[in-house]
């Protein structure tokens, strides 16, 4: 009869010893934590990719007009239009492309700056991707690396960003986006837009403004401020003083709402101008409430579309909720009609795909 070696007989006792059992538990906990962190990073990255992210190249037409027909003469530039991508992804989707294209068309005399964390610093060329090729057709679009240490330098958020464990927080990416927009507005002024907006009209008359997204709540997906504005300074101070990385929106809509109520001071927010800062009615930039986002995928007649957009400057698509919903191209869905009218180059790419 074969006998097992003594070393193998001792192995179960070694593995089950208290010292090794504790080590095994520690390793399992560490692996589980790493898995959950990776899951959150992948989930957050998926929000930025937009609908039906496909690789490919885009060849410019002979020329891409910088303004829509009958757009009129826009006001002179009052600062840049900023978009920010805080994840490492460099393969933007259709919605991202439409956001930047629509902003470029409606702001022909303004530089539209797209800051992306995943881009290499220096003079490195952009990755080969159809969205970068398409957007390069617009002379007023600049796509640059996002240098976070440089952006936060000289602000109260520098120390917050440099804390080494910050990146392990569950909502780090959206909070980082909240931080970037506030600092950009304070340092440089201009207009900030999330990459899930479709811009319908020039926004530069909406100086020192932000939008009401729902009853008694503001949203920072659109911001328009002069540089070094006191309101943005107070937002940076509140960001650090009342920081809570474990509550979704605490540094975003909740922060802006807190600061605006102190700024006025008021107990309930409504469409109003207070000490030079305007809270815009929902139809200005949030005509579709976040809880009604499915309306974007429903058929809409021309008259209904005209009525809906009569007082609207831009439409927020709520990509966090809508990004998994299939959009039929072509169709009479509201979102498809917005693509067709306000980002026709992106829409043409969608139809070809």
Q: Determine which of 21-25, 83-87, 141-145, 331-335 has the lowest per-residue pLDDT on average.
A: 21-25
Considering only CA atoms, which of 157, 152, 74, 138 is closest in space to residue 109? 74
Has residue 11 got a pLDDT over 70?
no
Has residue 84 got a pLDDT over 80?
yes
- Long-range contact list for 290-295, CB < 8 A, 24+ apart? 290/213, 290/214, 290/318, 290/321, 291/214, 293/317, 293/318, 293/321, 293/322, 294/322, 294/325, 295/334
List, for residues 104-116, the tens digit of each pLDDT value. Answer: 999 999 999 999 9
CATH architecture of 77-281: Alpha-Beta Complex (3.90)
Q: What is the mean pLDDT of residues 139-155?
A: 96
Main-chain phi, psi angles of 83, to 5 degrees: -120, 145
Place of tokens 């976070």: 148
List, for residues 305-320, the tens digit of each pLDDT value. Answer: 998 889 999 999 999 9
| Cα–Cα distance measured from residue 140 to residue 292, given in angstroms and rounded to the nearest whole number | 34
pTM listed for this prediction: 0.82
List, for residues 90-133, the tens digit of each pLDDT value. Answer: 999 999 999 999 999 999 999 999 999 999 887 778 999 999 99
Across the chain, what does the average pLDDT equal? 85
Place of tokens 């022909």: 108
């Amino acid at each position: 009869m074969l006998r097992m070696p003594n070393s193998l007989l001792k192995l179960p006792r070694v593995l089950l010893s208290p010292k090794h059992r504790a080590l095994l538990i520690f390793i399992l906990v560490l692996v589980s934590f790493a898995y959950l962190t990776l899951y959150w990073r992948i989930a957050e990255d998926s929000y930025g990719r937009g609908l039906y992210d496909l690789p490919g190249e885009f060849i410019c037409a002979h020329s891409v007009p910088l303004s829509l027909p009958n757009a009129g003469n826009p006001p002179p530039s009052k600062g840049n239009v900023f978009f920010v991508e805080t994840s490492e992804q460099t393969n933007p989707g259709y919605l991202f492309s439409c956001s930047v294209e629509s902003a470029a068309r409606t702001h022909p005399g303004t530089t539209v700056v797209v800051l992306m964390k995943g881009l290499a610093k220096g003079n490195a060329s952009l990755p080969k991707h159809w969205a970068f090729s398409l957007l390069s057709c617009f002379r007023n679009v600049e796509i640059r690396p996002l240098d976070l240490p440089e952006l936060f330098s000289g602000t109260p958020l520098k120390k917050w960003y440099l804390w080494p464990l910050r990146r392990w927080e569950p909502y780090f990416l959206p909070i980082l986006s909240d931080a970037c927009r506030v600092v950009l507005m304070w340092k440089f002024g201009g207009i900030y837009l999330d990459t899930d907006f479709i811009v319908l009209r020039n926004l530069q008359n909406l100086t020192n403004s932000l939008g009401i997204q729902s009853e008694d709540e503001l949203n920072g997906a659109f911001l328009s401020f002069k540089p070094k504005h006191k309101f943005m300074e107070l937002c940076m101070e509140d960001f650090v003083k009342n920081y809570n990385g474990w509550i979704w929106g605490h540094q975003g809509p909740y922060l802006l709402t807190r600061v605006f109520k102190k700024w006025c001071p008021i107990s309930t927010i409504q469409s109003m101008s207070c000490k030079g800062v305007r809270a815009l009615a929902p139809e200005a930039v949030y005509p579709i409430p976040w809880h009604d986002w499915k309306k974007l995928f429903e058929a809409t007649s021309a008259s209904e579309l005209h009525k809906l957009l009569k007082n609207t400057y831009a439409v927020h698509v709520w990509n966090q909720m809508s990004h998994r919903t299939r959009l039929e191209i072509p169709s009479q869905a509201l979102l498809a009609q917005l693509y067709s009218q306000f980002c026709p180059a992106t829409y043409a790419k969608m139809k070809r795909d």
